[in-house]
Amino acid sequence: MKFLSILLSSLLIAASCVAAADSADGNEDNDTYQPLKVVFAGFGRTGSHSIAAGLDRLGYKSIHGSEIVPNILGSHSKMADYMIAGDVHGLLNETARMGYNATMDCHAVYWGNMWEMHKGNNDVKFIFTKRSFEPWFNSIASVRWTLMPITRYPWRFVAWADKVYRFSVSISGYNWFNGNVNATIGKELVVNTSGELSRKIHQYAYQQYFVKVDKILKEYPKQAIMFEIREGHGYRELCELVEIPLEDCPVDEPFPHVGSSTQMIRVGFFLRFVEIMMYLIPMIVVGLIYRRVGGAKKKQKSE
């Protein structure tokens, strides 16, 4: 079921994750604690999965939605709880405590907060990405189409699905301009992705994102990069950003390309099949019971 995590690749904006050094919980003493080193700060559906694989190849430990969602009731439950609550500092402490030093799509919406925390800190690198609006928006819509069944009952009766839904609404409704969660907007984006309001919200976020990013890239060229997989960027660009010497960089290896939309569509059909079965099986059971009881009554009358 791990592939179900791809459902969350539809996040509005992708971002940075911080391992807060001033944790009051003493996380620094944890054996797995890792300070933040790399922040994916691009849109969802612009290569986050591939970049995560590339960073892992370079020795980082990235946290992607493909790991959070399947474990949202288990090992990553607390991380998801912080996201649902919109608690950025709690999320960053938990991320660091769990040993992740590179954040990807599901931490994405908090990139504005994290940039302000790490602006000018050359030990924390930011990766921005771009994709033309129409294909990006269509890709987002197709991914959220995958998610649709868990926004409805009977799926919502399933604890895992209900938490994924609340998780999705919270991160989709997070406003990186003011740091607030708007649940109404979040529900609109998750439930009615292709609607006119959803398109307007995405367009506005898209435009404002690049206004802010262009300024960052000009002012902090050593801390941030515009990474474009479709333009052929790969290990060379990543290594230059994180200051890995060229002789130690796997420049001759093909850069990973993962996170297929085809797989997500299959997930969508699977969720819909299960949804139909959730309705159909109880109906069949009730029908069989009714038939059995009716048959027994007829038999008693005949006797």
| Digit-coded pLDDT (tens) for 112-126 | 999 999 999 999 999
Can you tell me the distance from the alpha carbon of 40 to that of 32, in angstroms, rounded to the nearest whole number? 21
Q: What is the dihedral of CA 283, 289, 290, 296, to 10 degrees?
A: 170
Q: Model confidence over 124-151: pLDDT tens digits?
A: 999 999 999 999 998 888 888 888 899 9
Please report the beta strands in 205-248, taking only residues with DSSP state E, as ranges in sequence order: 224-226
Number of Cβ within 10 Å of residue 119's Cβ equals 14
What is the per-residue pLDDT for 190? 83
pLDDT of residue 43: 86
**DSSP element (H, E) containing 14:** none
For 226-271, what is each residue's pLDDT tens digit?
Answer: 999 989 999 999 999 999 999 999 999 999 998 777 777 888 899 9
Task: Please state the length of the chain.
Answer: 303
Q: Three-state DSSP class for 167?
A: helix
**Can you give the pLDDT at residue 77?**
97
pTM: 0.82
| 195-204 pLDDT, tens digit each | 888 898 889 8
pLDDT confidence bin for 20, thresholds 50/70/90: very low
Q: How confident is the model at residue 175 (pLDDT cuts 50, 70, 90)?
A: low
Report how far residue 300's alpha carbon sits from residue 303's, in angstroms, rounded to the nearest whole number.
5
Instruction: Determine the average pLDDT of the residues in 52-57.
Output: 97
Largest Cα separation within the chain, whole Å, is 93
Residue 176 burial class via C-beta count within 10 angstroms: exposed 0-12, middle 13-18, buried 19 and up:
buried
* All residues at 6 or more sequence positions from 143 whose CB lies less than 8 Å from its CB, including other chains: 6, 7, 9, 10, 44, 45, 261, 264
pLDDT tens-digit series, residues 74-123:
999 999 999 999 898 999 999 999 999 999 998 988 999 999 999 999 99
Beta bridge partners of 40: 127
Return the sign of the alpha-carbon dihedral for residues 103, 113, 129, 122. Answer: negative
Distance CA(242)–CA(120), nearest Å, equals 15
| Contacts of residue 240, Cβ cutoff 8 Å, sequence gap at least 6 | 225
Rounded distance, CA 63 to CA 50, Å? 12
| In the block, residue with structure tokens 């459902």 | 7
% helix / strand / coil in the chain, to the nearest 5? 60, 5, 30
Highest mean pLDDT among 17-31, 174-188, 261-275: 261-275
Cis bond before residue 245 (omega within 30° of 0): no
Half-sphere exposure of 64 (CA within 13 A, CB side): 26
User: How far apart, in whole angstroms, are the C-alpha atoms of residue 225 and residue 300?
Assistant: 81
Residues whose CB is less than 8 angstroms from the CB of residue 194 and which lie 6 or more positions away in sequence, other chains included:
141
Q: Please check the confidence at residue 6 and state whether its pLDDT lies above 80.
A: no
